[in-house]
Structure 1
Amino acid sequence: MWKQMIRPLFKSPKFIVGATIFLLIVLMAILGPIVYPKDPTSFAGIPEQPPSKQYPLGTDTYGGDLLAKVLNGTRSSLYIGFLVAIISMSIGLLVGTFSAIKGGIIDDILMGLTNIVLTIPSILLAILIASYLNIRSLEVIAVILGILSWPWFARAIRAQLMSLINREYVYLSRLAGYGDFRLAIEDLIPAIATYTFMAFILFINGGILGEAGLSLIGLGPTKGVTLGIVLQWAVLMEAIRRGLWWWFIPPGVIIVALTSSLLIITTAMDEVFNPKLRER
C-alpha cells in the first residue's frame, strides 16, 4: 500500500521540491545543534553584533548567539508541529471513525461535540488557555493547539468512511465476524491513508504557525527557544526599526520555507491522488 502511494509522488516535481526543502530544514534542526553546540540561552559575546566569523548570524540585544537560537528554535518548532499533528490526528481519527461505524445516537453526540468545538474560534481559545498558565512547556503549547485543531479532520474522516461503509468488502468483513476495531484498522482506515497523511502534514503546518502566533503575543513556551520566541524578542527590541536584520530575517525565512514546503507537498499529493486535479 505504501509503495503504491509513494511511487507516484516521486514523479511530481512539486512534491520533490517541497519534500527536499522540508527534509533539508529537518536535517538542519537535527544536526545543527550537534555541529554548532552553543547554548542558545547563555551570554555569547558583545550585544547586537552583525554576522561575523565568530557569530555567523550575529548576536541579539542580550549577547545571545542567534545561530544557536535559530538552530535550536527550528528543532523546537518542528517538535511542537509534530506533537500537534499526532494529537490532532489521533483525536480526529478516533472521533470520525467511531462516529461513522457506530452511527445513530453515538454519531449525533460525537458530531454535535465536533460542531461545538468547530464553531469556537480556536486561536482565541488557545490564547485564553495559555494566558492562565504561568509555566508553558513545549508540550503544553502542543497540547493546547492539538486539542483545538481536530474537528475539521473528524468531520472529513466521518464523511469519507460513510461512503465506504456500504461497500461490498465491508459487508463481507461484517459477515466474517469482524468487530468495529478490526473493521476500522483492516478495511476502512487503510482506504483513506493518503488523505490521513495529507492531514498530518497540514497539522504540522498549523502547529508551527500556531506556536509562532502565540509566541509573538507573549503566550508561547516559557522555557526553551522556538522560532516564534526569537521573532518575539526581535519585535520587543525593535530589531526591524533599528535595522538588526540578522535577528528577524533568518527565523522568518525558515518559518516561511517550512510552511510553504508543507503546503507544496499537500498540493502535490492532491494533484497526484485526486483525479479531478490530476494533470493530463
Structure 2
Amino acid sequence: MFLIMIKPLFKNKKFLVGISIFLFFLLLGILGPVFYKVDPMEMTWDWEKPPSSEHPLGTDTYGRDILAQLLHGIRASLYVGFLAAVISLSIGTVIGSLSAVKRGIVDDTLMAITNIVLTTPSILIAILIASYFRVRSIEMVAVILGLFQWPWYARAIRAQLMSLMARDYVNLSILAGYSDLRLAVEDLIPSIATYAFMSFVLFINGGIMGEAGLSLIGLGPTRGISLGIMLQWAVLMEAVRRGLWWWFVPPGVAIVAITASLLVISTAMDEVFNPRLREE
C-alpha cells in the first residue's frame, strides 16, 4: 500500500534529485564512521593542517581530524532531526486529531494551546530552556526542538480531518459505534498520510537547522559532536578570519545540502500529491 502511494514520486525529477542528495548524506552518516575509523576527538600534533593524504579534510586547532568530525557530525545532526521530527509529528497528530474528533470544549482548549505555542517565538523559548541545563545531551536538544515545531501541523491536520468528518464513510463508522480512537486511527489519519510524511520531512529540516543554531551560540549538545558544534568550534577559533577554510566549509556545505534536499523533497511531494499544483 505504501509503495503504491509513493510510486508517483519517482517520476518527479525534483524528488529524485532531493532524495539522492539526502540518501548520500544519510549513508555518509551511517557508514562513514564504520569505514573511516578515526576518533574525531583524538588530539594530535598536526595542528591546523590543510587537506592531505593523512587527513583528507585537514585538522583543526587541536589536531583533530576534520573528516572524522564531519562523518560523526552528519550522523548526530540527522539523529537530532529525526528525533525532533518524530516528537513534533506525534504531538501535532494527537492534538489535531483530538480537536477534529471531539470538537466542543476539547477543540477550543487544544486550539487555544496551539495558538499560544504558535505565536510564541519558538527559538527563543528553546534558547531559554537550553540555557537552564549545564549538561545537554543530543536527545535533550532534540526534545527541546521537537516540543515547539508542531503547532502549524496540528492546525492543518485539524482542518483536513474536520472536512473528512462530513464524508459518508466516516458517518457510517460513527453509526457503527466506532470509538473516537478507532475512528481517528482507521478512517481519518490514513487519509492524511501523504501530508503527514511531507510534514515529517519539514520537521527533520527544522530539527537540523535548530540544532545548528543552538550550537552556534553555545547552547547545543555538550557531549559528542554535530555539524553545528563543528561550526561553533570554527567560530570560536576564528577559522574564517584566519583562512582555515577546510574547517568551516565542510560542515556548512553539509548543512546547506541536507536542508536544501529536504526542501526539494517536500516541494516535489506537494507537486505530486496536491491537485492544484500537479502538472498537467
| TM-score bin, normalised by smaller chain | over 0.9
| Alignment partner, residue 217 of structure 1 | 217
Q: C-alpha distance in 1, partners of 2:278/2:110?
A: 34
Contact 1:80 1:211 in 2 (8 A): yes
| Alignment partner, residue 142 of structure 2 | 142
1:5-32 per-residue CA deviation (whole Å, 9 max, x = no partner) reads 2110000010011001100100010000
| Alignment partner, residue 169 of structure 1 | 169
Q: How much does 1:41 deviate?
A: 1.3
| Alignment partner, residue 79 of structure 1 | 79
Give the partner amino acid of 2:61: T
1:168-218 per-residue CA deviation (whole Å, 9 max, x = no partner) reads 000011112211111111110010000000000000000000000000011
Q: C-alpha distance in 1, partners of 2:133/2:57?
A: 33
Give the partner amino acid of 1:9: L
Q: C-alpha distance in 2, partners of 1:109/1:58?
A: 55
Contact 1:45 1:59 in 2 (8 A): no
Q: What is the number of residues matched between the two proteins?
A: 280
Structure-1-length-normalised TM-score: 0.99
Contact 1:93 1:154 in 2 (8 A): yes
1:24-67 per-residue CA deviation (whole Å, 9 max, x = no partner) reads 10001000000011111121441100000000110000111111
| Alignment partner, residue 2 of structure 1 | 2
| Alignment partner, residue 204 of structure 2 | 204
Query: 1:244-255 alignment to 2 at 5 Å?
Result: 244-255=244-255
Aligned CA-pair RMSD:
0.7
Moved more, 1-10 or 140-149: 1-10
Unmatched 5+ stretches in structure 2: none
Q: C-alpha distance in 2, partners of 1:208/1:139?
A: 13
| Alignment partner, residue 267 of structure 1 | 267
Contact 1:40 1:69 in 2 (8 A): yes
Q: Which contiguous aligned blocks of 4+ residues in structure 1 show a shift greater than 4 angstroms?
A: none
Give the partner amino acid of 2:175: L
| Alignment partner, residue 102 of structure 2 | 102
Q: How much does 1:3 deviate?
A: 2.6
Q: C-alpha distance in 2, partners of 1:226/1:45?
A: 23
Q: How much does 1:226 deviate?
A: 0.2
| Alignment partner, residue 70 of structure 1 | 70
Q: C-alpha distance in 1, partners of 2:274/2:117?
A: 29
Partner of 1:219: helix, strand, or coil? coil
Q: C-alpha distance in 1, partners of 2:149/2:268?
A: 23
Q: C-alpha distance in 2, partners of 1:201/1:195?
A: 10
1:61-96 per-residue CA deviation (whole Å, 9 max, x = no partner) reads 011111110000000000000000000000010000
Q: How much does 1:137 deviate?
A: 0.2
Give the partner amino acid of 1:279: E
Unmatched 5+ stretches in structure 1: none
| Identical-residue share of aligned pairs (%) | 68
Contact 1:89 1:150 in 2 (8 A): yes
Q: C-alpha distance in 1, partners of 2:108/2:6?
A: 36
| Alignment partner, residue 129 of structure 1 | 129
